[in-house]
Amino acid sequence: MAKKYALTKIRNIGIIAHIDAGKTTTTEGILYRTGLKHKIGAVHEGETTTDWMAQERERGITIVSAAVSCYWKDHQINIIDTPGHIDFTVEVERSLRVLDGAVVVFDGKMGVESQSETVWRQADKYNVPRICFINKINQTGGDFYKSLDTIHARLSKRAFPIHLPIGFEKEINGIIDLVSMKAYTYKDFTDKSLVEGDIPADMLDKAKKYRSLLIENAVAEDETMLEKYFEVGEEGLTNEEITQAVRSAVMTGKFFAVTGGDGRGVIVEKVLDLMVELMPSPIDRGSSWGTNPKTGDEIERKPDAAQPIAGLAFKIAADPFVGKLAYFRVYSGTLKSGSYILNSSTGEKERVGRIVRMQADKREDVEEVEAGDIAAIVGLKGTTTGNTLCDPNNPIVLESITFPEPPVSIAIEPKTKADQEKMSTALQRLAEEDPTFRVKVDEETGQTIISGMGELHLEILVDRMKREFSVEANIGQPQVAYRETIRKDGVEVEGKFVRQSGGRGQYGHVWLKLSQNEPGKGFEFINSIKGGVVPGEYIKPVSQGIEEAMNNGVLAGYPVVDIIAELYDGSYHEVDSNEMAFKIAGSMALQQGVKNASPVLMEPIMKVVVVTPEEFMGDVIGDLNSKRGRIESMEDLSAGVKEITAFVPLGEMFGYTTNLRSATQGRASSSMELDHYADVPSHVAEAIIAKNAK
């Protein structure tokens, strides 16, 4: 039976970073140091624990977040290793939603990179306290202080070292702890333990300077500590008080302790110490709030095992051995295997089969999990990402997780008849796991269309289909998810559907006023009917008719977005009016109204960040300009390396990564994320409309 840890002794921590900063290697170092592994797996050799999918091992990148429980100094640490690649950003988003703290890993040779900024913003969104680990400073070009400068310049001025590295590049052999003012050194990074000693004489002044900075800024976050600091000064504070002040400051989510070293090595023990000392427990993070699904009232759930059970499913995974796994964060109460639980997001009851604690792709069965813990449930049928699971007698709906609409689509078809049936099962299973992956059938062509966050995302999903479900498929060219909207306000339009020839007739008649909505707001329906000129029971069908008509725009058949439709007049017939007639009238009015309201085509604009050696900069910029790109900024990352940020239409960016590599001898890299939608220039729009008219 696994040991139970008090809530104050549990830490739920995410490891987040830019691609290739060394998250997975650092996680491996942590597992090795906490005794879960007998040796450290290397990413490039495909031996790591958390990168257990075949594609992850081949490509050397993390695709799905993996949860691992490990134990350090009488604490249980649940660690989630997340992907760095922008196409899998949803994995970071859903992990941060349920975590209490995060370790942000930076590449010491590169400092803050584009995706470091994205994950930092995601952590800000959920107010997750963070510590920073500057990795790879022991390699040529690695520099702790330069990387720290980039954190100050691009992320936060409130990041302060709690450890300083001893040595430089390959000579690094330990750290100075600025709280205890002791040095912790090693001869080789593979050493079993650190040796405590005195601070090297030539670093004493530097250590004192950084210690004062750390203390001065940490106490500023807590009034009681600040008063004591003014009374007794830095020397009058005990080490425990300093640690407590730093911990309180880190908890605010606005103050960040910084350390650095080699993620493979013994120095990881110091990162583990910081997780235990500075990161919040579920108690520190406090109560969770949700709504009562019946009354809509706000309800509080305390992180207490005696409260009614409430938790959030933050990830669904298809496990080859046990079937569907639902990763689950318990916010309150106790969940026992074999019990029944309510999925308050769907209203369905589910039976909890087995509860397992994950050690990456291995698992340990547990009888129950309590408030504050993370585990996975085997056997839930109708649960998807973001669903709340709770006590059937005390229902609550916790805040869900919102995911962006996927901007890239491709057509996919099975190679053989035998693949046909397997393909629909495979796609359904993959869509259950990944909320940013969508599958739909095009009604006109009968083609199956899959949509995702980028080319790599879709490529990996097709590859998984082949390996995990043995489905061979042909894929078409990537398609852009265009949208249509209007650019004219206050357009009045009539929709009239009348059929009165023999027998029961049809009669629906409406007047709508169409206006633009704010970008991203979607569809808004306003009912301004006075005096019952359109009876109450026909209002909803009108709204439904409008929404259905918005699925196919008037220019090229793309969905219409960001419109306000106001129903302000109409008429009805005592006998012939019915819901269907008003639905059709609403649909007709919308189609005609959009035609009269200056319709435009909109395209997804991607924020593209390219890191390139200086000698290729001119070519890269010229290429982006030729793709209708708008250069936003150019920055020096390090000697001879430039970072270019641009906004480019998605339609111009297919195959870009491959072309960029060949144009720069493989030395440049890029990342892309959806930024906003913008109007398509008229000459480009004409070509798209003509193509869709064929």
Average pLDDT over residues 66-72: 75
Cα 341 to Cα 265, 287, 380, 396, 440: the distances in Å are 43, 21, 10, 12, 31
Task: Find out whether 344 and 395 touch, Cβ atoms under 8 Å.
Answer: yes
Tell me the Cα Rg of the chain: 29
Do 193 and 339 share a domain, yes or no?
Answer: no
Express as a percent the part of the chain with pLDDT over 90: 26
Q: Is residue 358 one of the residues assigned to a domain?
A: yes
pLDDT tens per residue across span 293-342: 888 888 888 888 889 999 888 777 766 666 777 888 899 989 888 888 99
Q: What is the pLDDT of residue 58?
A: 41
In a shared domain, residues 229 and 281: yes
Decide if 254 is inside a domain.
yes
Strand 479-480 versus strand 163-166 pairing type: unpaired
Instruction: Name the burial class of residue 540, with classes exposed (0-12), middle (13-18) and buried (19+) by CB atoms within 10 angstroms of its CB.
Output: middle
Q: Which residue has the higher pLDDT, 501 or 371?
A: 371
Q: What SS3 state is found at 100?
A: coil
Alpha-carbon span 32 to 642, nearest angstrom: 36
Q: Are residues 71 and 24 in the same domain?
A: yes
User: Would you say residue 291 lies in a domain?
Assistant: no
What CATH number corresponds to the domain at position 382? 2.40.30.10
User: For the chain, how many structural domains are there in total?
Assistant: 5
Examine the domain organization and report whether 191 and 163 are in the same domain.
Answer: yes
- Residue 295 is assigned to a structural domain of this protein: no
Answer yes or no: is pLDDT of 400 > 80: no
Whether the predicted pLDDT of 254 surpasses 80: yes
More confident residue, 526 or 481: 526
Token pair in block for residue 512: 């709508």
Kindly state the average pLDDT of the residues 628-646. 85
pLDDT tens digits for range 574-583? 888 899 999 9
Query: Look-up: residue for tokens 């966050």?
Result: 453
**Residues 253, 120 share a domain:** yes
The domain boundary, picked from 597, 613, 640, lies at: 597
Same domain, 87 and 190: yes
CATH of the domain at 262: 3.40.50.300
Query: 340 and 259: one domain?
Result: no
Give exposure, 185-209, as e/b (b: 16+ Cβ within 10 Å): bbeebeeeebeeeebeeebeeebee
Between 460 and 159, the more confident residue is 159
Whether residue 467 has pLDDT greater than 80: no
Question: CA nearest 453: which of 51, 55, 86?
Answer: 86
Where is pLDDT greater, at 468 or 378? 378
pLDDT over threshold 60, residue 610: yes
**Pair 570, 683 in one domain:** no
pLDDT per residue over 268-294, tens digit each?
Answer: 888 899 999 999 998 888 888 888 888
Do 457 and 471 belong together in one domain? yes
- Mode of pairing for the β-strands spanning 483-486 and 599-613: antiparallel
Q: Report the DSSP pairing between strands 10-17 and 101-107.
A: parallel
* Residue ending a domain, choose from 564, 597, 630: 597
Residue 1 inside a domain? The answer is no
The predicted pLDDT at position 658 comes to: 74
The pTM (predicted TM-score) of the whole model is 0.68
User: Range with the lowest mean pLDDT among 52-61, 181-190, 614-623?
Assistant: 52-61
Highest mean pLDDT, choosing among 63-72, 352-361, 676-685:
676-685
pLDDT at 560: 93
Using alpha carbons, list the distances in angstroms from residue 7 to 282, 286, 370, 389: 6, 11, 9, 20
Q: What is the pLDDT of residue 2?
A: 57
In a shared domain, residues 209 and 89: yes
Per the model's pLDDT, the better-predicted residue between 29 and 485 turns out to be 485
Range of weakest confidence among 96-105, 255-264, 435-444: 435-444
Lowest mean pLDDT among 43-57, 212-226, 456-470, 646-660: 43-57
CATH number, residue 448: 3.30.70.870
Q: In this predicted structure, what is the pLDDT of residue 502?
A: 65
Q: Which helix (H) or strand (E) holds 459?
A: helix 455-469
CB 78 within 8 A of CB 373: yes
| Spatial CB neighbours of 623, under 8 Å, sequence gap ≥ 6 | 659, 660, 663
CATH number for the domain harbouring residue 653? 3.30.70.240
Of the candidate ranges 65-79, 177-191, 503-517, 671-685, the one whose mean pLDDT is the lowest: 65-79
Model pLDDT, residue 125: 79
Whether residue 294 is contained in a domain is answered as no
As a 3-state breakdown, the chain gives helix, strand, coil percent values, each rounded to 5, of 30, 35, 35
Q: Are residues 271 and 313 in the same domain?
A: no
pLDDT of residue 57: 40
Q: Phi first, then psi: what are they for 401, rounded to 5°?
A: -115, 130
Provide the domain limits for residue 615: 602-693
- What is the chain's mean pLDDT, rounded? 82
Do 475 and 488 lie in one domain? The reply is no
Instruction: Supply 262's token pair.
Output: 């080699």
pLDDT confidence bin for 247, thresholds 50/70/90: very high
**Does residue 472 fall inside a structural domain?**
yes
According to DSSP, the residues that pair with 195 across neighbouring strands are: 185
Query: What mean pLDDT is predicted for residues 71-97?
Result: 69
Residue 130: is its pLDDT beyond 70? yes
- 20 within 8 A of 12, measured Cβ to Cβ: no
Q: Domain for residue 292, yes or no?
A: no
